[in-house]
Chains A and B, each alone.
Chain A
Amino acid sequence: MTLLTLQQITKNFGGLTAVDHIDLSVEKGTIHGLIGPNGSGKTTVFNLITGIYPLTSGTITFNGMDITGYPAFKVNQKGLARTFQEIQLFYDMTVLENAMMGCQRLTRAGAVAALVKLPWVTREEAFIREKAMAALDFVGLSGTAEEAARKIPYGHQRLLEVARALAGDPELLLLDEPAAGMNHAETRELMALIARIREMGITVFLVEHNMKMVMEICEWITVINYGQVIGHGKPAQVQADENVINAYLSGENITC
């Protein structure tokens, strides 16, 4: 079953076409990789899916629902969570509070509820806390729950972003270069974590530079260059694809 479908999505920045009629679909329950040389438009695709930029044309379907043109917050409410290449945390909040922010889509107490504070609001607050703690536990950060997010080490900040995304029980998790800046050991741990996430039934769609990691954990890989899809398939197929090799030869080595 297809969870996410991109049909002919295009994005123009001024005169520049960053994403050019891309078709792509992510199957439910898989780990799907999006790769391509630097500047090929990977992050832009993520930003288009999550509603950070409006599309120039094309449609996006998620879970059978047309989410084209949805603003970012609404996309998240439909069950799509993401992390960023450059970590985006709420730095002056605690680790726990950061994770609690991930539960927005599951909860509903607003300003009036906060003022009146009926019993269900208190229950909901406890539920949020529970979900957040569970997510922190899952990534192994529950020990630093009360620290300020600014204070924890870089690797942990990356994990915290994942925990925050997980706290809302998303159906699809978008990871934008999750291994960036990590050393070898940390990368291995991350790969294990991603595998565990998939085991929970969450589909993972990731952009990554680390080819070894992508080839190892992804079931499906889509390759883009200059905003266009140049290859698609299982890791082995992609590795053998001539177009892909050419694209990478001019840039970097695919087997690094």
Chain B
Amino acid sequence: MVASNFQKKAFFWGKLIFLSALVMLLVHNSAVAKEMIIKIGVVGPLTGQFAAVGQSQLNGAEMKANEINAAPGEYTIELISEDDASKCDQSVNATVKLITRERVVSIIGACNSPCALAMVPITQRYQVPQFTFGVGTAITKQGSDWIFRVAVGAPGQTQALADYAVNTLGHDKIAVLYSDDEYGASMAENFKAALEEMDLQPAAYESYPRSDKDFSGQLTSVKKSEATCLYATGSYAASALIAKQAKQLGLSLQLIGDTGNATPKYIELGGEAVEGAVIVEPFTPADPDPAIQVFVEKYKSQYQQDPDGWVAEMYDTVGMIHEAVVKTGKIDPKSIQNYLAGLTFESAYSGILGDWYFGPEGNANFDLYKVQIKDGKKVILER
């Protein structure tokens, strides 16, 4: 085919515009610095599969930062958010950028345990405290003093869940269905260990690939096992789908879930199928405590949805970092780390989730709520 003159011209101009756009992109750049500002880097997925979790992380941190900045005080908080698309390479790159370029004094992230784990050697090398709600056990077992887990880890969560399911709800045939990524595997193995301590074995123990949407195969095995209770762990969307499909297959199971399902989205997606599900969560909007209700209302007015555990954890994390700076009077990573590592039961930071202090490995520990979903709302069973 012979290209017409017009086509040739169009191609030429198109190429010119494309190339100049490329050059303009290469030229742009910016960096500004201020004083008395606490710079905190937030690393998490804002695109890709886990984008919603990254959004919760950012919202929680942002809400607290805005509150601090609006209130009278010496210090202001500047959050610098970086998207890692839940790719660990990008999490680490972003961390290095935030520390060496932006000179942040603390790092929040990443949302996925593997990526948070990949960041640990970096934050240790550059001696900047890192805060993550990733639950993977290994994160705090790297011998770094700079990592703080601001959530209950996999062992704590599954222990509480297994205990409640067996001793309070009275199930002894519990099936486990987990996503084959680090989160699911880590939860499932710890849950299994918790059952074994009570001399029980899971009735069925099945995994599913993360991208899968049809679970009828796995649910068939669950059905065969005659389990009365199902622990599904992985993304909240997958857990909601599992609940739906189990119901469609005519299985009537007591559903139980970990903090991965502790988001209002789980109820929205699961609908009727998740009625009666029991979930452990660090935070619940159902708590009548007035401080919590104020927090919930405020979040709702800003973000048009209920806050979840991740929001609350990050809200408190920013609060903690701010307090460390106020108490020590220094904006530097070392004093923040020192102050937070030195917190004890007595000197704990009091946040929306309760009293914060860290164990020797950097794990926070607090009581989890056990809630049940009734009529699309969460009802507290116990804390």
Report A-B touching, CB under 8 Å. no
Show the binding face of B for A, using Cβ within 8 Å.
none
